[in-house]
Amino acid sequence: MAAPPLKLKPRIIYGPVNSRRLGSSLGLNILPFRYKACPFNCLYCQYGFTGARGYTLSLEEKELPTESDVTRALEEALIEYPLVSYLTFSGNGEPTLHPQFSRMVDAVKHVRDRVNPEIKVAILSNSALVGIEAVREGLRKLDIRYMKLDVGDEELFRRFNRPHPEIDYETILNGLKSLGDITIQSLFAGGPNGNAGEKAVEAWISRIAEIKPRECHIYSLDRPAADRTLTPLYRDDLEKIKYQAEKLSGVTVKVFER
């Protein structure tokens, strides 16, 4: 029997989570606890498909943690874990959906500075709202920005990431370019609905060459995807993408087995 999707985070702070990219990290969930909130409906999402309630560009603030909620939860967590390496905005969907995202970043950094200024504040974002200047303002305040880009053209973007109708691929590209110092994360999957075909990879590489991020992190499935027809790539497959991308874009690419 296939494993079920991951459970949603039931609180603001979760972890510490240990990973090869971020070391020891406390996750920050500033989204609803009862449903996934994401303007994408990616075929590979480990939380399953996005329900109608969360598939939106606006959320009711009464369902979201407030600035004081986040400050209080983080202060309590850092009493127990003052030496974590990162505080990472992630959680039950896309963190930049929170209408007070920029202020949340300020609040987290203020607590961080009082407890341990050496901790980095990061985000795992799907880049959906990076075209909005107010969102980029909040993103620029972060120490580390991990931004998603899985595909190289609008057509595959619509089929693989399945964004909200108001989200435009070119707007995301322009937002990523203007944001500057970022790391691009990309998931590659095989199967009839995947994004790992030769032409798809070539198109993605051309976009990486345009954006010129600090580096790219690529990986494949290691948990059940929402679309069970997707298949994981082997390490050798990812290494081929890495070699080709580095050769054609000049950007450093790292392969991660999640």
**Domain membership flag for residue 39:** yes
Domain of 113, CATH number, reads 3.20.20.70
Number of domains in the chain: 1
Concatenate the DSSP letters of all residues of the chain into one string: -PPPPPPPP-SSEEEEEEETTTEEEEEE--S-SSS-B-S---TT-TT-SPPTTTSSS---GGGS--HHHHHHHHHHHHHH-TT-SEEEE-SSB-GGGSTTHHHHHHHHHHHHHHH-TTSEEEEEE--TTTTSHHHHHHHHTSSEEEEE---SSHHHIIIII---TT--HHHHHHHHHHH-S-EEEEE-EESTT-S-SHHHHHHHHHHHHHH--SEEEEE---S--SSTT-EEPPHHHHHHHHHHHHHHH---EEE---
**Domain membership flag for residue 81:** yes
Per-10-residue mean pLDDT of the chain, 258 residues long, equals 71 89 90 95 92 88 94 97 96 96 98 97 98 97 98 98 97 96 97 97 98 97 90 97 98 90
The predicted structure's pLDDT at residue 3: 53
**Domain membership flag for residue 105:** yes
The predicted structure's pLDDT at residue 4: 61
The predicted structure's pLDDT at residue 222: 86
**Domain membership flag for residue 6:** no
The predicted structure's pLDDT at residue 164: 96
The predicted structure's pLDDT at residue 1: 33
pTM over 0.75: yes
